Amino acid sequence: NAGVTQTPKFQVLKTGQSMTLQCAQDMNHNSMYWYRQDPGMGLRLIYYSASEGTTDKGEVPNGYNVSRLNKREFSLRLESAAPSQTSVYFCASSLSGRYNEQFFGPGTRLTVL
Amino acid sequence: AQSVAQPEDQVNVAEGNPLTVKCTYSVSGNPYLFWYVQYPNRGLQFLLKYITGDNLVKGSYGFEAEFNKSQTSFHLKKPSALVSDSALYFCAVRDADGSSNTGKLIFGQGTTLQVKP
């Protein structure tokens, strides 16, 4: 099992460019999440998908969109990148329900110039 | 609103000594608490969780955590630290959004653990 995979690992964008971060999991999890990690701020939830076909905003959704393509895949799109979106992005997945831990991908380090 | 705080940015301990990484929480309702570890340039790894029951929870790599309801704390502990335990540690609490299907978490800001030989 690969667990949670993310592509790309690194990306540099210019302000105003767009890109899509890809995430896939092979654990048959229903729920998937996108976080951003900034120094001293922990992880903040951008969007999540409780199950296939549903997506909801998290704490910091502005400037992002998501697509739950199927049960395995959950992508994050930046339509017009801004320097404030420079961050490390993590995808995670979990079983449904309130008690289950999340499994994290290796992250994408994004720099917006 | 749910929240979690890690009062120490960094904890320094000598190898072989016991370690404690502190976490306090604020929740409405029952607390569901988690600890994760992040090694440099890696994703987060799950260590342990408290859902209900015994206040002392055992987890991976010899770590344990003590749930204290009266002090609203969930401190991470290990009896004997290793240099390889040096990493960034996150405490998290489940976000009670009213939906039983979501496992949304609220994370603390993280504590860097430095274990010196």
The answer for B 18-77 residues in CB contact with A (under 8 A) is 32, 34, 36, 41-46, 49, 51
pLDDT at B96: 66
H helices of chain A, in order, are none
pLDDT at A111: 97
Cα separation, B46 vs A100, whole angstroms: 10
CA nearest to A37 within chain B? B109
Q: For residue A92, which residues of chain B lie inside 8 Å, CB to CB? A: 44
Average pLDDT over residues A46-72: 94
Q: For residue B44, which residues of chain A lie inside 8 Å, CB to CB? A: 43, 90, 92, 102, 104
- Taking the Cβ of residue A9 and every Cβ of chain B, the question of whether any pair is shorter than 8 Å is answered with no
Q: pLDDT tens digits for B62-115?
A: 999 999 999 999 999 999 999 999 999 999 998 766 555 567 899 999 999 999
Contact indicator for A28, A19 with CB cutoff of 8 Å: no
Q: Which two tokens stand for residue A65?
A: 């969109």
Q: Among partner residues A40, A90, A97, which is closest to B109 by beta-carbon distance?
A: A40
Q: Among partner residues A51, A102, A105, which is closest to B105 by beta-carbon distance?
A: A102
Q: Do A41 and B104 touch (CB under 8 A)?
A: no
In this predicted model, which residue has the larger pLDDT, B47 or B31?
Answer: B47
Average pLDDT over residues A68-95: 96
Mean pLDDT score of chain A: 94
pLDDT at A24: 98
Å between A80 CA and nearest CA of chain B: 26
| First-to-final CA distance of chain B | 41
pLDDT at B95: 76
Name the DSSP letter for residue A76: E
Whether residue B45 is predicted with pLDDT greater than 70 in this model: the reply is yes
Residue A98: CB atoms within 10 A of its CB come to 18
Å between A23 CA and nearest CA of chain B: 13
CA dist B104 → A86, A93, B45 (Å) = 23, 10, 16
Name the DSSP letter for residue A100: P
